[in-house]
Amino acid sequence: MDMFLVRGGEQLSGCVSVSGAKNSALPLMAAALACEGETVLHSIPNLVDVTTQSQVLGSLGMQVDRDESGTLRLKTVDETSCIADYDLVRRMRASVCVLGPLLAKRRMACVSLPGGCNIGDRPIDLHLKGLSALGAQIRVDRGYVIARADRLRGANIFLGGAFGSTVTGTCNVMIAAALAKGTTTIESAACEPEVVDVGNFLNAAGAQIEGLGTPFLTIEGVEQLNGIEHEVIPDRIEAATLMIAAAITGGDVRLNRVRPDHITAVIEKLREIGVTIQLEFPDQPAKKQSVFVRVTQPLKSVDCIALPYPGIPTDVQAQLMSLLACVPGISIVTDKVFPDRFMHASELARMGANIRRESASAILNGDSRLSGACVMASDLRASAALVLAGLAAEGETVIRRIYHLDRGYEKLEEKLIALGANVQRVKDEPKNMPDSLKLTDGESRPSYSELLDALTGPHWNQTTSDKLAQPPKPSDA
């Protein structure tokens, strides 16, 4: 397993380009299953999740070829398999997006319940509700969704859940409805740019979808969708992560290939914190747009709430927490999409962040400087948050289990290094790890529960904080 060594303290400066959006690319690849002929997708990021989705599609009879420039060519060569196996589907969330196209095109599907980041409850009841409304018969058996249908029929579907709509669920139902007989309406559809990207792709392939980007979609079913060429939108989560990297290091960074209109809420929040952000060519296509991020004044604490689009994305919540952990004063960060998505809190605490959990919120006191520590990445955005914290911390941070990051960020360390960061990937830890950094389960390091207890429990006292401040003795390393 790879890990990162991050030496904090460098102010980032320079220019990098944002990759294509993971959360568009993956459902777009699934949508190709619903098309006749060849689908060509440009700007597909080189990610572990893209490889996994290619394997899922390969197991369903698609030929998937990728070239060096990030173009993916997808074509169905065998329609006999309808089984998406647990071993692949468990690795990520978007693999469940094959369910809708399989039902619409092949009339049957056997798809494992999906995996993805461990960020709280992630049911797929809304996906199944939508597909059932279109006429599919569905049951869940031994961890698989087993579904059959005659030709799907249009229906009026309400896709709202307790925490808003569903992004991949809207994609699944929208792809299926595009090939259903008659009209489908989806109320409480997700409005995220990635859903719009998938809808635009389907329309270009021959679908008739109206209302994209709003919570109310009307879909006139068509007989056939035909493969087309499509350019994936820039990754708004990567853009936001790099903007926060610039802010947390007091840097001066230019990002190319961004869609600022997809991250308005993040830009506004960073401006409220005191970060200077300038947009260049906001009326041009994404390829020509740039965002400049620089810090020219002391930053201020703020409160922020992660919400469905157009709110602050839950996928940026962890990274914002790293920034606010370094900004003097009290900030409250709330996640209304995944109320338990705070695995990073305990690892940030390991680096000296003062964080307290209160149901769906974290309360941060950013008055103390972060210090490098050995931390563990628990999910994709938590990994990014720890890298950002490491950039700002004093000394060296070791981030283990960086495979989470590789699922969803294309060459993040190369981009950060290009901006002047001191980040090093160590392959196959602990084999190649410098002796000085080798970890043991030594008693002298405070445990996770001790740290959390120390931060949140009623018995905050000097003895515990002294213990936390002490580096492990050489004999314990």
Ligand X SMILES: CC(=O)N[C@H]1[C@@H](OP(=O)(O)OP(=O)(O)OC[C@H]2O[C@@H](n3ccc(=O)[nH]c3=O)[C@H](O)[C@@H]2O)O[C@H](CO)[C@@H](O)[C@@H]1O
Q: Which residues of the chain form contacts with ligand X (CB under 6 A)?
A: 23, 26, 93-94, 121-127, 161-164, 166-169, 190, 194, 313-315, 337-338
> Annotation-wise, does 22 bind a ligand?
yes
> Annotation-wise, does 125 bind a ligand?
yes
Give the contacts of 71 (CB within 8 A, at least 6 positions apart).
40, 41, 42, 44
CB under 5 to 8 A by kind: which of ligand PEP, ligand X, none does 127 bind? ligand X
Contact 18, 238 (CB under 8 A): yes
Nearest to 32 by CA among 76, 78, 84, 94: 76
| By CB under 6 A, residue 94 contacts ligand PEP | yes
> Annotation-wise, does 337 bind a ligand?
yes
> Annotation-wise, does 67 bind a ligand?
no
23 or 289: CB nearest ligand PEP = 23
CB under 5 to 8 A by kind: which of ligand X, ligand PEP, none does 352 bind? none
Mark the segment that binds ligand PEP (CB under 6 A) among 86-94, 269-277, 432-440, 455-463: 86-94
Nearest to 34 by CA among 204, 190, 211: 204
Task: Please give the full DSSP string across 248-264, using - where no structure is assigned.
Answer: HTT-EEEEES--GGGSH
- Taking the C-alpha atoms of residue 104 and residue 130, their distance in angstroms, rounded to an integer, is 13
Other CB atoms within 10 Å distance of the CB of residue 366:
21
| By CB under 6 A, residue 117 contacts ligand PEP | yes
Smallest gap from Cβ 315 to ligand PEP, in A, equals 4
Task: Please give the full DSSP string across 45-74, using - where no structure is assigned.
Answer: ---HHHHHHHHHHHHTTEEEEE-TTS-EEE
Smallest gap from Cβ 183 to ligand PEP, in A, equals 30
| By CB under 6 A, residue 315 contacts ligand PEP | yes
93 or 257: CB nearest ligand X = 93
50 or 273: CB nearest ligand X = 50
52 or 249: CB nearest ligand X = 52
Beta partners for residue 216, in sequence order = 187
Q: What is the DSSP letter of 226?
A: E
- Taking the C-alpha atoms of residue 326 and residue 331, their distance in angstroms, rounded to an integer, is 10
Smallest gap from Cβ 110 to ligand X, in A, equals 19
For residues 352-381, which are near ligand PEP according to CB under 6 A?
Answer: 380-381
CB under 5 to 8 A by kind: which of ligand PEP, ligand X, none does 408 bind? ligand PEP
Q: Is 14 left (phi over 0), alpha (psi -120 to 50) or beta?
A: left
Nearest to 393 by CA among 413, 364, 369: 369
Would you state the structure tokens that stand for residue 354, as one six-digit string? 């003062």
| By CB under 6 A, residue 408 contacts ligand PEP | yes
Contact 68, 41 (CB under 8 A): no
Give the contacts of 67 (CB within 8 A, at least 6 positions apart).
none
Smallest gap from Cβ 22 to ligand X, in A, equals 7
Q: What is the DSSP letter of 161?
A: B
Stretch 19-38: interaction string toward ligand PEP, x if CB under 6 A: ----x---------------
- Taking the C-alpha atoms of residue 297 and residue 326, their distance in angstroms, rounded to an integer, is 14
Give the contacts of 87 (CB within 8 A, at least 6 positions apart).
none
**Per annotation, catalytic residue among 97, 117, 304, 326:** 117
> Annotation-wise, does 315 bind a ligand?
yes
Smallest gap from Cβ 23 to ligand PEP, in A, equals 6
| By CB under 6 A, residue 16 contacts ligand PEP | no
| Buried-exposed string 3-38: b where 16+ CB fall within 10 A, e elsewhere | bbbbbbebbbeeebbbbbbbbbbbbbbbbbbbbeeb
Residue 326 catalytic?
no
163 or 292: CB nearest ligand X = 163
> Annotation-wise, does 228 bind a ligand?
no
Query: In this chain, which of 92, 128, 388, 389 binds ligand PEP, going by CB under 6 A?
Result: 92
- Taking the C-alpha atoms of residue 413 and residue 423, their distance in angstroms, rounded to an integer, is 6
Q: Which amino acid, one-letter code, is at 315?
A: D
154 or 169: CB nearest ligand PEP = 169
> Annotation-wise, does 49 bind a ligand?
no
Query: In this chain, which of 93, 344, 401, 445 binds ligand PEP, going by CB under 6 A?
Result: 93
310 or 395: CB nearest ligand PEP = 310
Give the contacts of 436 (CB within 8 A, at least 6 positions apart).
477
| By CB under 6 A, residue 316 contacts ligand PEP | no
Residue 385: φ, ψ to 5°: -65, -40
379 or 396: CB nearest ligand PEP = 379
CB under 5 to 8 A by kind: which of ligand PEP, ligand X, none does 121 bind? ligand X
- Taking the C-alpha atoms of residue 350 and residue 352, their distance in angstroms, rounded to an integer, is 5
Just list the catalytic residues: 117
Contacts with ligand PEP, residue ranges (CB under 6 A): 23, 92-94, 116-117, 119, 315, 380-381, 408
Residues in binding site for phosphoenolpyruvate: 22-23
